[in-house]
Amino acid sequence: MTHITTYQQITQALTVLDLAEPVTFRFDKATAIADVLSELGENIHTSGIILVEDQERPIGFITSSSNFENSDQNYPVGTIAEKIDSRQVLSSNLSLYNLMPLWKREEYPYFILNGAEITHFISKDHMDSAPVKTALFAMTAEFEDLILKLLTKDLTKIKERFERLPTGDTNIDKANNLKNNQEAAKRCAKRKGLPNNSFAHIQSTFLSHKIDILLLDTELCEFAFPGSDHTILENNLTFISRFRNEIAHGGSIFNIVRNLTQLNDIVDLLESAIIDLSKKLNKLSV
């Protein structure tokens, strides 16, 4: 049976209409730009997307006030509108889970067909909203839980794993950082009232520390991520940790990912890792 990730459960329960923004302004394509600007007034910078219609049929859109710059105000608004491609029109019941992969091809806005009318739009900015970040954070939390189970699956090795430090002159800073993290984890466990043992200490580590512990165990890395290049694996896991922390501290996902293609990459990476690790750990527990 295929593992259903927490991310998948949340994003399949959300539709594009749950995240989308209503279309507030619509103008016929023949309307003079001057008349459009007059009606928009101060809303020009906050109007979201403006629909341009031909006899009440949407044919184009304007995304920001920059479209009006250097435009002859006597020209009809249809001359500066971007054409709506049929691929940009989505059903209102499309799930967020199925929307996300669409961003791989283009970052253009999508228009939501609600009944027979386009009523809402959804753009890149909406992917930085609370519901989306909740789903993404849930995925990183599920991944962290699996890493914890991986590190503690063999009770005889927990103490050794927690206390292990990298050796060599080039790893002095990393070793010192791990020592500091070990002490922080012990203090955290004590505050929580947990037992003074390595199992509780690993439970009390941050994801970044769990990743450091994992990367020092070659055998465990090979079990979890067989055939992976160690440097690439370290970079990917560190990126996941930074991504999780940015969301946890209320930051924008776009402080970490450059675009929606990269966001899809991290979603794919996490989903694949969660499903694979779940299978492996379930086999061990049978």
Q: Does residue 111 sit in helix, strand or coil?
A: strand
Query: What is the number of structural domains in the chain?
Result: 2
- The domain boundary residue, chosen from 110, 125, 140: 125
Strands in 82-83's sheet, in edge-to-edge order, are 25-28, 50-54, 57-62, 82-83
Dump pLDDT digits (tens) for 202-219.
999 999 999 999 999 999
**Do 211 and 136 fall within a single domain?**
yes
**Do 148 and 280 fall within a single domain?**
yes
**Do 59 and 180 fall within a single domain?**
no
φ/ψ of 212, rounded to 5, equals: -60, -40
Residue 190 placed within a domain: yes
Alpha-carbon torsion, ordered 234, 235, 241, 247, to 10 deg: -170
**Do 93 and 143 fall within a single domain?**
no
Look at residue 65 in the predicted model and tell me its pLDDT: 64
Residue 143 placed within a domain: yes
**Do 62 and 153 fall within a single domain?**
no
Look at residue 3 in the predicted model and tell me its pLDDT: 81
* List of E strands, 115-224: 117-122
- The domain boundary residue, chosen from 79, 104, 125: 125
**Do 63 and 170 fall within a single domain?**
no
Model pTM?
0.90
Question: What residue has token string 């020009």?
Answer: 44
Q: Which residues of the chain have pLDDT under 50?
A: none
**Do 196 and 230 fall within a single domain?**
yes
- Amino acid letter, 243: F
- For residues 286 and 280, give the distance between their C-alpha atoms in angstroms, rounded to a whole number: 10
* List of E strands, the chain: 21-22, 25-28, 50-54, 57-62, 82-83, 89-91, 110-114, 117-122
Residue 279 placed within a domain: yes
Task: Please give the residue range of the domain that contains residue 112.
Answer: 6-125
Dump pLDDT digits (tens) for 53-107.
999 899 999 886 667 777 888 899 999 999 999 999 999 999 999 999 998 877 7
Q: Tokens for 248?
A: 């946890």
Per the CB < 8 A criterion, the answer to whether 146 and 281 are in contact is yes
Per the CB < 8 A criterion, the answer to whether 217 and 164 are in contact is yes
Look at residue 49 in the predicted model and tell me its pLDDT: 87
